[in-house]
Amino acid sequence: MPNPICRALGIRYPILLGGLLNIGKAPLVAAVSAAGGLGILGAGAWDGNELRDQIHQVRERTDRPFGVNVVVRSAYSEEHVRIVIDERLPVVTTSAGDPMRYTATLKDNGVYVMHVVPTVAYALRAERAGVDAIVAEGSESGGFTSLEEISTFVLVPQVVDAVRCPVLAAGGIGDGRGLAAALMLGAVGVQVGTRFLGSVECGIPAAYKESLLTAQDTDTILTRSPRAAHRDLKKDLVARVLAHEREERSEEGLPKSGKALPVWSAGQVAGLVREILPAKELIERMVREAREGISAFSGMPEWLSG
Ligand SMILES: Cc1cc2nc3c(=O)[nH]c(=O)nc-3n(C[C@H](O)[C@H](O)[C@H](O)COP(=O)(O)O)c2cc1C
């Protein structure tokens, strides 16, 4: 049976690189797409020039399809939508905001739209907006998450039951077992963030990668603010906050370097990142492990076979 995401986008594997703010740049995006997955540019904080430049850089590296993450609440989102259409990109993920805002415009221009949701209610709203697919993202994921804190294992089957369009699972998927489990929950594919942070092509600082390699299951922390939550690595967090506090300030209290607090976001699945690998190998391993894991079940456990 053809996979609806692969068929619609002309990709080999329904494995998405999640939008990674400021991190999901051309080398990583191109590597994921060239390997048969779907690379997505983490565009949320870029101005229009930066986004165009990154799009062109991906095109220099691969002719495979790739997309852009449009962070709806970002000040640049309107410009990003214009550029996506202008550059004839085939696909976007929209997140952090109302799916009603851009879905019709994007779809009228032939763009495949997937919206990222943290609850069933948001999934229903995305479906009403007319999205092509939904990414159900559990609260174990890295970066911004919902205050509701619903885990992937619980969220995905409920979203699958609630909507008609294809659903992808995100949050906590770091290997082939996670991919196979997502398929069992009714997802047609997965979106992966944290595991790709631990890839050769990901341009984060070496110390950030080192923290991923040594992270245990308990080494991320969720910080709640009135409108959202954010999951980051605990390691060095206090040191990084203090260094930021000590930085010389302008009269308005802004850091003189203009640098934001260096937050090292990661999901709970960081505890599975034990090797930095090329994105191609990560994807191929994930597919191979899922294939082997699922076929191992042809030897059905006695209690299950009835
Ligand atoms: C460092 C980092 C930055 C992220 N930035 C964004 C973003 O800009 N937009 C977005 O929709 N999701 C963002 N996410 C979420 C990912 O796209 C993805 O859904 C998530 O990482 C999946 O869960 P996992 O981290 O357990 O794999 C970010 C995640 C991480 C780890």
Measured from the CA of 44, which atom of ligand 1 is nearest? 8
For ligand 1, atom 3, name the residue with the nearest CA: 20
Q: Is the pLDDT of residue 253 over 60?
A: no
Q: Is the pLDDT of residue 254 over 80?
A: no
pLDDT at residue 274 in the model: 98
Q: State if residue 24 touches ligand 1 by the CB under 6 angstroms criterion.
A: no
Residue 28: CA atoms inside 13 Å, Cβ hemisphere, count? 29
Looking at residue 117, its pLDDT comes to: 98
Task: Report pLDDT for 235.
Answer: 80
User: Which residue reads 């995100």 in tokens?
Assistant: 170
What separation in Å is there between the alpha carbon of 148 and the centre of ligand 1?
17
CA angle 33, 272, 236 (to 5 degrees): 100
The pair of structure tokens assigned to 2 is 């053809």
For ligand 1, whether the C-beta of 19 sits within 6 Å is: yes
Task: Say yes or no to pLDDT of 213 above 60.
Answer: yes
Please give the share of the chain, as a percent, with pLDDT higher than 90: 82
Q: Does the Cβ of 141 fall within 6 Å of ligand 1?
A: yes
Bridge-based pairing of strands 143-145 and 229-233 is antiparallel
pLDDT tier at 261, thresholds 50, 70, 90: low
Ligand 1, closest atom to CA 266?
31
- pTM score, two decimals? 0.94
Q: Does the structure show a pLDDT above 70 at 246?
A: no
Task: Give mean pLDDT, residues 82-104.
Answer: 98
The count of residues in the chain is 306
Does position 167 have pLDDT exceeding 70, yes or no? yes
Average pLDDT of span 179-191 = 98
Q: What is the pLDDT of residues 45-89, one digit of tens each?
A: 999 999 999 999 999 999 999 999 999 999 999 999 999 999 999
Q: What is the mean pLDDT of the chain?
A: 93
How do residues 193-207 score in pLDDT, each as one tens digit? 999 999 999 999 999
Beta bridge partners of 71: 95
| pLDDT tens figures, 262-290 | 689 999 999 999 999 999 999 999 999 99
CA 42 to chain centre: 9
Structural contact between residues 272 and 174, judged by C-beta atoms closer than 8 angstroms: yes
Candidate of 15, 16, 20 to mutate for ligand 1, largest count of ligand atoms within 8 Å of Cβ: 20
| Ligand 1 centroid distance, CA of 170 (Å) | 9
